[in-house]
Chain A
Amino acid sequence: MPEGMSRRSFIKLAAVATTAAALPGCEPAARKLIPYVVPDENVTPGMPTYYASSCSECGAGCGIIATVREGRATTLAGNPANPISLGAICARGQAAVQGLYNPDRLRDPMRRTQNGRLVQISWDDAEQMLTKRLAAASKAGKDRVALMRAPDGPTFAKITKTFLGAYGSTQDIVYESVSVEAARNAAQTLFGRTDLPVYKLSEAETIISFDSDFLETAISPVEMGRGYAEFRTPKQRRGELSIGHAFYVGPRMNMTAAKCDDWVAVAPGAEAQVAWAVLHELVAQRWVSQNSGVDLDELTTMVSAYDPAAVSQRTGVSADLIRRMAQAFGKSDGAVALAAGDDESLHLAAYILNAVTGNIGRTMNFLAGPTPPPPASLNDLGGALTAMRDGKIDVLVINNVNPVFTMPPTLRAAESLQRVPFVVWMGTVPDETANMASLLLPTDHPLESWRDSAPRPGIRTLGQPVTQRIAESRPAGDLLLAAAAKVSTNLPWKTTADAVKAEWLALGPQNDTDAQTEFWTKVRREGGIYSNPTAAPVKLSTKGVKTPPPGDAASAELTFITFPHIFLYDGRGADKPWLQEIPDPVNQIVWDSWAEINPDTAKKLGIAKDELIELKTEHGVIEVPALVSKYVHPNAIAVPLGQGHQAYGRYANNRGANPWQIVAAGSMRITVAARGTGKSRRLITPLGKSDMMGRSIIEAMSLTDLQKGIVPPTGEQEAPKPWEMYPQYAYNVHKWGMTIDVNACTGCSACVAACYAENNLPVVGKELVDEGRIMSWMRIERFFPDTDENAPNIYVTPMLCQQCNHAPCEPVCPVFAAYHTQEGLNGQVYNRCVGTRYCENNCPYKVRRFNWYEPHWDEPLDLQLNPDVTVRGAGVMEKCTFCIQRIQHAEITARIENRPVRDGEIVTACEGACPTRAISFGDMNDKESAMMKRRDENSLRNYVMLGELNTQPAIVYLRDMYHEKGKA
């Protein structure tokens, strides 16, 4: 049969037809309704329930409000009662839910067999195995059981003490990978304090950051971001409209440096000299406070080697710039210097700068009250690991830290762990450390268990479980207490929940059960206890101050620097797909690590873009693709931490390189030999262009123009005279709009993460991002200025659907899926959309996203999905809706209560997440709304994106602000 259909093909076809007919007959999953036996009176099915809790993604101590739908946490927002978060949380905090629902979480206890394989065991067997080993170890002698953990809250610390005490040990190793030891030592030297100060950026007029990425990972990104926005907002100071002036001294331009007025590029290690030179100038000019209590004569001799001219010679930083920094710092009404890194002399200089200008007690405070204990010092850590290698530890319990991944080779973590006969790993997603453990115990995610924290005096946060367990996990504290209960009979508590409750009740009223119940309800509702602590009086003593060696810092030596990634931090964020897919704010790279290298250095070394650079130090070698960028000092090659996992789940495994492998303990910088390998791996970015091609997408204006009331020319052609073919829309009730302050936006991407969480946006993965298939409705638009003259270092702003009045997307839709709503939104009806993508092509803002593939969530990540928002299928266009589900919710509530929608009642996900409050949402029909007032009060700074297209967006941006160069 040459051209015919065989009997076989007929049967095949017939089979296909039959299957096709049978398929829709399959029952959808939700065909059953299962009622409660006894309903929970606090839960209304179909409506969200909110729980206050605390964020455990970093140590800042933000409070969260978890939105829970039918028992499952869907989104997290900041807790307005908590003074650190004040209603906002960062991208890392929002992504905690992806840690909770991570598909690679360990589900059952595992034991490692002789041949290294993991076998599943029951909880009973696991506990028996653990207690047997622990008992044997404690019998063998004192201190033969060790526990390594993250800097947890006070209650967990007590539980660990109880556990270790029961087994005759004091080996409580509190491990934090990114060390702030130098800052602590400096505070100890100068002020005799063991804690770190708290900064108030809003009180300052000048900020000098010596390589402290205070808007990213240092300190608290939410609190500092908020402070920085207040610092930058134009306000009256000494009878003149002004904005704060910020300098950043460091080898690479990170997001913080980019948002500062001046990025002072210095070779790695030269920051301290610049800092001391600033101090020299301050002292020489007597721009010091009279009652700072600093011995100026002594200080004068200390700074003598750091004359700006001399330092300029040694570091290449212009003496004029140093003088300007000193002037701005010394002559301002409130200033703050921040420092980071392992150079103690740098921290000393920063503290002294704050002290001599009388800013202690103002912008920088040491708080009175109990402060959290510091994590183990490098010495203690080294000692503990040596003890392991010497066979002095029989059982090592590791809870929620990953020393094998985050410890530099000099600490020999892997070797030390190998020498411990029995390593118990407790955590959620098995990581590199779990690979070396004999027993793996799945513990609760923080969102599933009780915990607390005391980040600083005056603030104690309470973390309550917000969702039911996803896996067969148990709270880490319960495991420790159960093990302790086997040998000790008089334990104060049986479970973590008991412990937390007992500890918290001790803080409240005593001897009165009613008052205690009330107190317990109150702290759970507010997520903690907050008070305003007073600043502790401190006196500066310059005894024992180390000044940096006044040597030639600007040597030709190439230095490798690494830094915590804004989202992945030290690597702990790498298992969360949102954090992998949201591009980093400055370089806009996703799913990979990169090596920032200056074009000059790259040329000298013969390294091309995307070429894998072999970075070789005395401790190891890594290969990282080159990102040739002028925003890094020629003497430095910078690689972010975070990637390079060889375990830690499917999203983290086998991506990029781990810089911890090539640095020495206690420092993130090291001399490096770099060479191109000839191989290359393309760095993936969703970004189109890095410059605006002369168009005014993000606009900025100088402070001088603002003072004079001059609206700067936009560089665009004149917008055409309004000539309307169609009648104007009548917005009878509401017209939703937004005001976004570009000046306040730092690029932190908290809004992007919030949008992912609220609107069920799928993560597409590295390959599809490369094809332009990223699904983010909201992105951080980033551009660099064409010239260095009179422009901000960077242009960043949230870019989302502009909800145009004259939307180019609407008239091109052949099926009316894109249409104009009665409240001024550009609606998108998913079930009407046939996927022509005309709207996307016609959108000048590139904010529409097409589902090229069926979106997919690895189970159980789908439990995070917001039931208020449709999950879009393949072939459908989608875009920002201004969180229409929240608008609907508020409008329905208002109608039921027979009142208009209140201003501020609707908070979009991005607005709620923004730490700097750059975004306000409101009704454009209501001239009294906070959003409209913000426009009016900043009328000079108003602009709309691509205004000449006459799309009449509902989003009005406020221009970014900058100081004209050369003006302090």
Chain B
Amino acid sequence: MNRIFLPLALVWLIIGATVIAFSQRPWLPRMDVVQPIPFSHRVHAGLNKIPCQYCHEYARRSENAGVPPIERCVGCHGSGILGGIKPVTRPWTDHTQPSFEIRWNRVYVLPDFVKFTHRPHINAGIACQHCHGDVQNMDRVVPVKEINMGFCVDCHTKRHASLDCVSCHH
């Protein structure tokens, strides 16, 4: 009995650990994020050439780039030319959401022990696409690059930016 069960339990444990190690790293960018609204960056940033910071207005001033306030959406869509207010108030895929509250799903998540701030990067003239990929060609935003420490340090080395650990880890 024992001879069968013990290895079986071990195998089970190993499978579990493997799953932990490779499948669901919460810090990995997620390819499977589906937004409550089929918002298309291709249409906005690509076809209509709206600058990134028109909507993500805090990027040059703050830690966060910021998601656009609904006011910003309504600013164009509410004018009637662009199909009225409907696309904003009616989330298509998730009908449980209240109107005028969009619960976007995060695509990029940094672990708590890293302090990334958009402000210096935007001001140093780094294009958004450098980290986020060609968002203007994406209907649904998916991460193109894994934002890990290697990715950061690579660029920091090339551009002679700070390589002090505490610049980001504090």
- CB of B9 within 8 A of chain A? yes
* Contact of A871 with B20 in the complex, beta carbons under 8 Å: no
Residues of A within 8 A of B100 (CB): 37
* Contact of B26 with A870 in the complex, beta carbons under 8 Å: no
* Contact of B104 with A35 in the complex, beta carbons under 8 Å: yes
Stretch in B61-69, B77-85, B151-159 touching the partner: B61-69
* Contact of A35 with B102 in the complex, beta carbons under 8 Å: yes
Q: How far is the CA of A307 from the CA of B92 in the complex (A)?
A: 94
- CB of A36 within 8 A of chain B? yes
- CB of B93 within 8 A of chain A? no
- CB of A722 within 8 A of chain B? no
Residue of A whose beta carbon sits closest to that of B25:
A24
Stretch in B42-50, B113-121, B130-138 touching the partner: B113-121
Residues of A within 8 A of B25 (CB): 24
Interface size class of B (residues with CB under 8 A): 35 or more
* Contact of A31 with B120 in the complex, beta carbons under 8 Å: no
Minimum CB–CB distance for B60 against chain A, Å:
8
| 15 A/B residue pairs, CB under 8 Å, sorted by A | A4-B1, A5-B1, A5-B9, A14-B9, A21-B16, A21-B17, A33-B105, A34-B67, A35-B66, A35-B67, A46-B64, A46-B117, A885-B115, A895-B123, A896-B120
* Contact of A21 with B165 in the complex, beta carbons under 8 Å: no
Minimum CB–CB distance for B5 against chain A, Å:
4
* Contact of A821 with B67 in the complex, beta carbons under 8 Å: no
* Contact of B113 with A870 in the complex, beta carbons under 8 Å: yes
Q: How far is the CA of A896 from the CA of B119 in the complex (A)?
A: 8
Residues of A within 8 A of B96 (CB): none
- CB of A642 within 8 A of chain B? no
- CB of A723 within 8 A of chain B? no
* Contact of A39 with B1 in the complex, beta carbons under 8 Å: no
Q: How far is the CA of A35 from the CA of B26 in the complex (A)?
A: 23
Q: How far is the CA of A4 from the CA of B5 in the complex (A)?
A: 9
* Contact of A46 with B63 in the complex, beta carbons under 8 Å: yes
Minimum CB–CB distance for A857 against chain B, Å:
14
Q: How far is the CA of A660 from the CA of B163 in the complex (A)?
A: 58
- CB of B13 within 8 A of chain A? yes
Q: What 1/0 flags go to A489-517 for Cβ under 8 Å of B?
A: 00000000000000000000000000000
- Quick one: given A25-B24, A33-B104, A869-B170, are A823 and B5 in contact (CB under 8 Å)? no
- CB of B32 within 8 A of chain A? no
Residues in B lying within 8 Å of A, measured CB to CB: 1-2, 5-6, 8-9, 12-13, 15-17, 19-20, 24-26, 58, 61-64, 66-71, 100-106, 109, 111-115, 117, 119-120, 123-124, 162-167, 169-170
Minimum CB–CB distance for A428 against chain B, Å:
30
* Contact of A30 with B106 in the complex, beta carbons under 8 Å: yes
- CB of A556 within 8 A of chain B? no
Given contacts A17-B12, A21-B19, 12 further A-B contacts (CB under 8 A): A5-B2, A14-B12, A17-B15, A21-B16, A37-B100, A44-B62, A46-B117, A47-B61, A821-B165, A827-B164, A885-B115, A888-B170
Residues of A within 8 A of B16 (CB): 17-18, 20-21
7 smallest A-B Cβ distances: which pairs? Answer: A46-B63, A4-B2, A46-B64, A21-B16, A46-B62, A36-B69, A17-B16
* Contact of A821 with B164 in the complex, beta carbons under 8 Å: yes
- Quick one: given A37-B100, A47-B62, are A21 and B169 in contact (CB under 8 Å)? no
* Contact of B66 with A45 in the complex, beta carbons under 8 Å: yes
* Contact of A896 with B123 in the complex, beta carbons under 8 Å: yes
* Contact of B106 with A35 in the complex, beta carbons under 8 Å: no
User: Helix, strand, loop or mixed for chain A's interface?
Assistant: loop
Partner of B165, one of A3, A5, A24, A829: A829
Residue of A whose beta carbon sits closest to that of B166:
A827
Partner of A10, one of B8, B104, B105, B123: B8
- CB of A589 within 8 A of chain B? no
Q: How far is the CA of A827 from the CA of B162 in the complex (A)?
A: 14
Partner of A31, one of B12, B17, B106, B111: B106
Minimum CB–CB distance for A472 against chain B, Å:
22
Q: How far is the CA of A822 from the CA of B160 in the complex (A)?
A: 13
Q: How far is the CA of A871 from the CA of B69 in the complex (A)?
A: 29
Q: What 1/0 flags go to A697-723 for Cβ under 8 Å of B?
A: 000000000000000000000000000
* Contact of B166 with A881 in the complex, beta carbons under 8 Å: yes
Minimum CB–CB distance for A491 against chain B, Å:
36
Q: How far is the CA of A279 from the CA of B5 in the complex (A)?
A: 93
Partner of A34, one of B6, B17, B20, B104: B104
Chain A, 151-173, CB within 8 A of any chain B CB: none
Chain A, 821-844, CB within 8 A of any chain B CB: 821-823, 825, 827-832
- CB of A819 within 8 A of chain B? yes
Minimum CB–CB distance for B77 against chain A, Å:
14
Candidate in A23, A39, A46 with the most chain B CB atoms within 10 angstroms:
A46
Residues of B within 8 A of A31 (CB): 105-106, 109
* Contact of A37 with B70 in the complex, beta carbons under 8 Å: yes
- CB of A967 within 8 A of chain B? no
- Quick one: given A5-B6, A25-B24, A46-B64, are A868 and B115 in contact (CB under 8 Å)? yes
Residue of B whose beta carbon sits closest to that of A822:
B164
Q: How far is the CA of A628 from the CA of B64 in the complex (A)?
A: 55
* Contact of A7 with B71 in the complex, beta carbons under 8 Å: no
Residue of B whose beta carbon sits closest to that of A889:
B117
* Contact of A821 with B166 in the complex, beta carbons under 8 Å: yes
* Contact of A10 with B115 in the complex, beta carbons under 8 Å: no
Residues of A within 8 A of B113 (CB): 830-831, 870
- CB of A13 within 8 A of chain B? yes
* Contact of B166 with A829 in the complex, beta carbons under 8 Å: yes
Q: How far is the CA of A13 from the CA of B14 in the complex (A)?
A: 12
Residues of B within 8 A of A884 (CB): 166, 170
* Contact of B62 with A39 in the complex, beta carbons under 8 Å: no
Residue of A whose beta carbon sits closest to that of B18:
A21
* Contact of B167 with A888 in the complex, beta carbons under 8 Å: yes
* Contact of B26 with A34 in the complex, beta carbons under 8 Å: no
Q: How far is the CA of A885 from the CA of B167 in the complex (A)?
A: 8
* Contact of A44 with B165 in the complex, beta carbons under 8 Å: no
Q: How far is the CA of A720 from the CA of B58 in the complex (A)?
A: 54
